[in-house]
Amino acid sequence: MQHLITTDDLTIEQIEQILEDASRFKLQKNPPSLLKNRLLFTLFFENSTRTRSSFEVAAKRLGASVAHLDPSKSSTSKGETLEDTFLNIAAMQPDGVIIRHSDNALAQKFADFNITPLLNAGSGNFAHPTQALLDLFTLKEHFGNLEGIKIAIVGDIVNSRVASSAIALFGRFGIKISLVAPEQFMPHNLDLPKFEKLKDVLGDVDAVMSLRAQLERHNKPIFEDYETYASHYCLTKENIGDKNIIIMHPGPVMRNIDISDEILSDPRSKVLTQVTNGLFVRMAVLKLLLLDS
Ligand code: NCD
């Protein structure tokens, strides 16, 4: 039984298979019902706009059905442990459970029961493997060859599971990563080039991944006013100019703090392409975990 908790759960061959399947799915108007009669369960303890619906659409496009548990209406609010909630869902014998939770270790803990394939849809600041895979796909689609591409990750890196997974995955494909953030948002345990000023990297990268401040993970407000932060880290017409780079963001975008309105609608912005690609990448991930493993 294969789980996807971090991208390290996948071999390079499996990742290449996902990228290849995703490209094929992207070209098919009517994808085959590879997952007919399969049932997936989504268990989202944190909010989600893109990831939950993307998994659901991906499953349905391949002919599977999807059931949701809404934690705000579940028995966890009556005192049931999360473990018991999971075991009860698993007892209904779904073909996989897609989980998001603020606890870094919960998805792995449930995977260790080995009852049903576990797909991590975001765990604390630890990992968001399908986001990293869709970002990798988007880079490959644009640049063709991944080796040697230079990307700057900008924003609240230390609190971001998107950054953790991107850093872990991109490094395996020879992508060169630099980190741009104020001291408060900069991780200290990573051996990567670090910059405080956006202008020091923008002339020397092929892509920029912007990340929002993870306000829900801050114990107390880190910046009183995000206008000053934006004046240093927002991607704007002024600092991007006519540079030949692409702009990425996992969403939700804090408009005019992370990326200006103008740059968001610029053809160099891949933000909505990432969402589209996420669908095909998740179809490929479901195929790999439910059929090929
Ligand atoms: C991210 C998440 O929830 O980790 N969004 C997403 O899944 N596309 C990023 C975020 O919330 O900032």
Task: List pLDDT tens digits, range 133-173.
Answer: 999 999 999 999 999 999 999 999 999 999 999 999 999 99
Measured from the Cα of 161, ligand 1's closest atom is: 4
pLDDT at position 78 is: 82
Q: 249-289, pLDDT tens digit by residue?
A: 999 999 999 999 999 999 999 999 999 999 999 999 999 99
Query: From the CA of 135, how far away is ligand 1's center (Å)?
Result: 12
β-strand partners of 43: 69, 99
Confidence of residue 77 (pLDDT cuts 50, 70, 90): confident
- Average pLDDT of the residues of the chain: 96
Measured in angstroms, how far is the CA atom of residue 24 from the centroid of ligand 1? 26
**The predicted structure's pLDDT at residue 41:** 98
Beta-carbon contacts of 203 under 8 Å, excluding residues fewer than 6 positions away, are 243
Q: What's the pTM value of the predicted model, to 2 decimals?
A: 0.97
- Binned at pLDDT 50, 70 and 90, residue 128 comes out as very high
Output the residue whose Cα is nearest ligand 1's atom 8. Answer: 250
Looking at the CA of residue 50, tell me the nearest atom of ligand 1.
8
Pocket of ligand 1 (CB under 6 A): 50-51, 122, 128, 131, 161-162, 212, 250-251
Whether the predicted pLDDT of 72 surpasses 80: no
Pairwise CA distance, residues 218 & 19, whole Å: 34
Q: State the closest ligand 1 atom to the C-alpha of 47, by its place in the atom list counted from 1.
A: 3
pLDDT at 70: 85
What distance in Å separates the CA atoms of residue 183 and residue 253, rounded to the nearest whole number?
21
- What pLDDT shows up at residue 195? 98
Q: 54 CA to middle of ligand 1, Å?
A: 12
| Pocket test residue of 120, 131, 277 for ligand 1, highest count of atoms within 8 A of CB | 131
Q: What pLDDT is attached to residue 145?
A: 96
Q: For a ligand 1 pocket test, name from 52, 161, 162, 276 the mutation site with the most ligand atoms within 8 angstroms of its C-beta.
A: 162
- Is 76's pLDDT higher than 80? no
The average pLDDT across 88-111 equals 97
Q: Has residue 75 got a pLDDT over 90? A: no
Residue 186 pLDDT greater than 90, yes or no:
yes
Instruction: Please tell me the least confidently modeled range out of 14-18, 28-32, 169-173, 206-210.
Output: 28-32
Per residue in 198-227, is it b (16+ CB within 10 Å) or e — as a string?
A: beebbeebbbbbbbbbbeeeeeeebeeebe
Compute CA distances 209 → 28, 233, 258, 270, whole Å. Answer: 28, 12, 10, 10
Residue 223 scores a pLDDT above 80:
yes
